[in-house]
Structures are given as structure tokens and as C-alpha cells.
Chain A
């Protein structure tokens, strides 16, 4: 790889010695060797946004694990005579069309929705990073093979895949299998975006510097390239949390998801669609729960991204 000439750029770039040094460019020789992750953590702790989102997520996890702390109403006891009644009496948010308590269902649906969202996001991030990083960084035939596998996975119609996968596992329909079915076909987007970022980053000066210093290729990928290209992955992953929760609902609605007795926000949202004209609150309330959850993870992703980006850190 030619590293003696700088790639041509459309505009004039000053030689390195003319560029004024900013704080981050200077190196304190006497300091402890800095580690990206410990730096990031030190930075995170100082941000209020981090603590807000962390507290919200902790609350969500507590709701998911101990729903009965928040409501004593049985979400499975539904009476048609209470259908679509508004809040009041024993009910905080009223009842849905089947006459089930909306608040109790949202509380009890948290664990399923949160679990599906988290597992899928994790899967998408993991598969996306593995496929994207290797194909982008190493290129060549590895890129060709990995990218084409991604193409195939992405071309398979989602519903077809879900119906086939879930009917094969119909005996074991649970949060894990459904998350697997969703995640297995959602990662190629992440992989392609990461691949593109890596294509860009791998030509950066610091990579060339590391190469010149004799750092191994894999170590360069892990230590230098990946942390600098992870931002878009964080963005997609946090949003895929929401997509996964909605996808679970779609699959359950199609009869290939979780058993109909399993409660989830997505399930309630999709069942409330027919009430859109008459009782929109049955749809909006679980949607708000979904929004708040996604918001807390987007905020978390945001601060992590800032913390990982030394330049954004320096700007503050």
C-alpha cells in the first residue's frame, strides 16, 4: 500500500507541520498510556445525559423483571363488558377493546418487548460488526463472499423467512427464537454501513501510522479502525431496537410469533389498529411506552458515541 504520498484531495491541505496543534494532538510523554475505553468511561461519568438515560433504562429493567411491583391487576383477565372504557376507578389508563386493563398490559408487556429489542439489537450489532468489519477491512475475496452472503440474506422476503423459521421452531416459540428469527435477517444493513465506514477509515493517517509501526493487521482493526467507525453502528442498533419490537408484533399478528397469551407492546399496538377511528388511545398508550424506551436507548447511544469520539470530546 503506497503510504508516502497523501491521497489527492480537491482542496488544499496544509502540510502537517503547519497545522496548529490542538490539545488532542499533543502527547504527554509522562502520562499513563491512555486507553480508549477507560477514557470514554471517564468522560461518560461526567455527562448528565448518560445518567438520565441510565436511570430510565434501569427503571425499565426493574419493570420488566418485577411487573407486579407496579400493578396488581391481572392483565390476562379481560371482560368485554369493560371494552374501551376510559380511565377511572381501578384503572389508571382504561381498558382496550377486549376489556383488558391497558396499564397492566403495558407493565407486563415490558419484559417481552424489552428482551426482544435488546436481543435483536445485540444480534444485529454482533453479526453486523463481524461481517462488516472483516469484509471492509480485509477486502478481496473475503469481502466478496461476506457481502454476497449479506445480499442473499437481505433478499429473502422477511415474512417467508419468519414463517419458515418459526414453524420449524414452533415447539420452542419464545423470546429467544423469535429474536433469532428477526435478527438473522436484519443484520446485513448494519454490516454494509460498517463496511463503508471502514473502507473510509482504513485509509486514514493513524491507520497508516500504526501499520508503519508494525502493529498487526487484526490489532489495527480492533484498536484503531473499529472504534473510529462504530458511530453509525450505534445509530442503527439503537433504532433497530424499536424496529425489533414492532417486528415481533407483526410476526405475532401473522401467527408465527409468540403464543397469543404472551403480552407485548407490539402485540397490543397491532391489535389496536382497528380501533384507530374510534379509540385511538388504545394504540397510542403502548406506542408511548415504546417511544420512551427507544428514546432512552437513543440517548445512551448518543453519549457513548460522543465519548468514543475524541474529537467530539475535545470540542466540549
Chain B
């Protein structure tokens, strides 16, 4: 197993090289000159433009820029943003917040989504199943902005259960409401996946076997049905974890969470190459680790699955 893990971790090297190059190229290929945008509606003289470009190394050819960036990485220098802040500092202050948000959100999905999906699957075609479908439909048809806005208005402003936005230091408590809103976007997928998986498992031989052995439903559901239904759900949760981290732009905006989503979005819009690439690099690493963990988890959930050789 150690060999397998080591091999998986080694795969990170080509993946990282490929991704950083690709992303750096994409930022470079984005139409528009980020330096022109720094001047707002005013049009600066070309000489000034040139001077500012030089300061950020943007006057050099793409490949030189990329190699300078890569060289910097090996010296632990990820470059600086337009605001003069080292990118490593930006990573250090945004990722912990976003990680907390994504973890909370995943937790809500795991508890809420899987539970509702399980009941829906066990009572297929019933009232509960139908209601769960309607809620899922509403959540996938409304933009996250609307869900966030309504949640904030009702639970924070009207009822006062939560702070309207995330306060200094982004404590866990303030992140609960944003995490629920964020989870709403993936709720439908988790519920439907769990449900479908449960229905399928419910009809399998070993469940019937267990039932014929006289095992109570109480024991069959968690031990036999749920455990064997979790593989697609856990996989999806793992993939979704990254989406929850990077794609939280709107939710972060509504609740003023100083996290990855917004910072990355701003960096993309402003064309800040080093910032974008550094963020994506960290994301790739997180993906690789999460996916590795999930692959290891498969063997726990279903002993028939063994690590690929």
C-alpha cells in the first residue's frame, strides 16, 4: 500500500508541471492588457504603461515569464500581486478560511444529503421521496445568489440567528450559514446519487440474504445498504470538494468571506498570472490528495476493491 501511495504522489510532479504551464499560458492568452486596466477609465501615456509593465515582468515573452515564475517557486518565492502583497501571504490567509468553509459544507452534505437520499431511496415513490425531489428541483433551478440572499435575509437579518456576514478571523460559527448555502448547490446531486445507489443496493443478493437470515431492517440499512451505496456518493463529494473551494465566489461575495473563490476570481479578472497559477497549484495538490484518500476509502467500503497494481 505504501508503494501505491508513493506512486500516486509521484504522479503529482508531471501533473503540477502541466497545470502550471497550462494556467500560466491561459492567463497570458486572456485578451486585454491588465496594466491598462490599472488606470481605470483614464488612458495612460504609452511610456508609463511600458514602465509599469516592466515592473511586473509583463514586458517579457511568455516563456521567460513562466520560467521566471517557475524559478521563483523553487526559491519559495511565488511572486507578488499588484497590491504588493507576496502571493504566499495571500495563499496563507485565504486557504485556511476556504478549507474550513468547504469542510463544513461537505459535512452538511454528508449528513443532510445522504440521510435524505437514503430515506428517499428506501421509501421510493412515497411522499418523502417526492418532497425531496421538489426541494432538489428548487435548489438547482434558482441561482445561488438568490438562495444566499434569502437565507441571509431570513436567518441573519430577520431572525438574527447568525451574523449577517463573516466577522474578523472567519470563525467556524460565522461560516455555518455560508456553508449551508454553498451546500445547497450540490444538494440535489448528493440526494439523487444516494437515492439511486440505495435503490440499487436494496435489490442486491446480499441484502436479501441478510434479510432471509432474519437480520432486522435496523441493522441491514446502515451496515449493508448504506455502506455499499456510499461509493459513488463519496466519489462525488470528493470531486465536489474542489468546486466548493474554488467555486464559492458568489457565496463568498454575499457573506463577505475572505476566501479563495473571490480572491481567485479577482486575480483572474485582473490578469494577475502568478496569483492565479499559485492558487491553482494548491488546488491541484488538494485534488490529488483528496482523490487518493477516496481511492483508499473504496477498499474500506467494499473489500472486493483492491489497490490497482
Q: Mark A176-218, 1 if CB is under 8 A from B, else 0.
A: 0000000000001100110111011001100000000000000
Residues of B126-172 whose CB lies within 8 A of A: 133, 137-138, 140-143, 145-146, 149
Which chain A residues numbered 289 to 303 have a C-beta less than 8 Å away from chain B? 290-291, 294-295, 298
Name which residue of chain B comes closest to A232, CB basis. B232
Q: Which range contains the number of A residues in contact with the other chain?
A: 35 or more
* Option from A143, A155, A204, A312 in Cβ contact (under 8 Å) with B242: A155
Residues of B within 8 A of A288 (CB): 141
Nearest Cβ in chain B — how far from A241, in angstroms?
9
Interface residue count on the B side (C-beta < 8 Å): 72
Contact check, A235 vs B239: say whether CB atoms are below 8 A apart. Answer: no
Distance (Å) between the CB of A21 and the closest chain B CB?
11
What B residues does A235 contact at CB under 8 A? 189, 192-193, 196
Contact at B196–A231, with CB atoms within 8 Å?
Answer: yes
Interface string of A270-288 (1 = CB under 8 A from B): 1001001000000100011
Contacts of B199 in A (CB 8 A): 309, 312
A72 at the binding interface (Cβ < 8 Å): no
Closest to A231 in B: B196
Asked if B19 is at the interface of the complex by the 8 Å CB criterion, the answer is: yes
Main secondary structure of the interface of B (DSSP, over half): helix
Are the CB atoms of B18 and A152 closer together than 8 Å?
yes
Digit string of A11-23 for contact with B (CB within 8 Å is 1, else 0)?
Answer: 1111000011010
A95 to B247, CA, bound (A): 32
Q: Are B287 and A151 in contact (CB under 8 A)?
A: yes
Q: Are A242 and B141 in contact (CB under 8 A)?
A: yes
Given A276-B149, A294-B137, A294-B141 in contact, is the A140-B308 Cβ separation under 8 Å?
yes
Q: Which residues of A contact B284 (CB under 8 A)?
A: 151-152, 155
Taking the closest CB of chain A, its distance from the CB of B131, in whole angstroms, is 14
B291 A12 Cβ-Cβ under 8 A: no
Asked whether, in the complex, the Cβ of B209 is within 8 Å of the Cβ of A239, the reply is no
**Does B37 sit within 8 A of A, measured CB to CB?**
no
Among listed B48-56, B57-65, B174-182, B297-305, interface-contacting one: B297-305
CB closest residue in chain A, given B215: A11
Q: Report yes or no: B140 in contact with A239, Cβ–Cβ below 8 A.
A: yes
For B302, the chain A residues whose CB sits under 8 A away are 200
**Distance of B29 from chain A, by nearest CB (Å):** 5
- A110 vs chain B, min Cβ distance (A): 15
**Complex-state Cα separation, A311 to B236, whole angstroms:** 24
A-contacting residues, B191-218, CB 8 Å:
192-193, 196-197, 199-200, 203-206, 208-210, 212-213
Q: Determine the chain B residues whose CB is within 8 A of the CB of A189 once the complex forms.
A: 236, 239-240
Most central of A164, A204, A305 by chain B CB within 10 Å: A164
Assess the A232–B196 pair: CB atoms within 8 A: yes
| CA gap between A13 and B141 in the complex, in Å | 45
Q: Give the residue of B142, B238, B283 whose beta carbon is less than 8 angstroms from that of A287.
A: B142
Cross-chain contact B308 with A7 (CB below 8 angstroms): no
Q: Is B280 a contact of A156 with CB atoms below 8 Å?
A: yes
Q: A236 contacts B193, CB within 8 Å?
A: yes
Q: In the complex, are the beta carbons of B232 and A197 less than 8 A apart?
A: yes
In the assembled complex, the CB of A263 is this many whole angstroms from the nearest CB of chain B, namely 17
Decide if A38 is an interface residue (CB 8 Å cutoff): no
A269 contacts B by Cβ under 8 Å: yes
A139: interface (CB < 8 Å): yes
Smallest CB-CB A-B distances: 6 pairs: A311-B203, A203-B304, A139-B308, A196-B235, A232-B232, A291-B141
Partner-A contacts on B (CB < 8 A): 11, 14-15, 18-19, 22-23, 26-27, 29-31, 133, 137-138, 140-143, 145-146, 149, 188-189, 192-193, 196-197, 199-200, 203-206, 208-210, 212-213, 223-224, 231-232, 234-236, 238-240, 242, 246-247, 249, 264-265, 268, 276, 279-280, 283-284, 287-288, 291, 294, 298, 302-305, 308-309
**Additional A-B contact list (4), CB under 8 Å, known A155-B284, A196-B231, A294-B140:** A152-B284, A156-B280, A189-B236, A200-B302
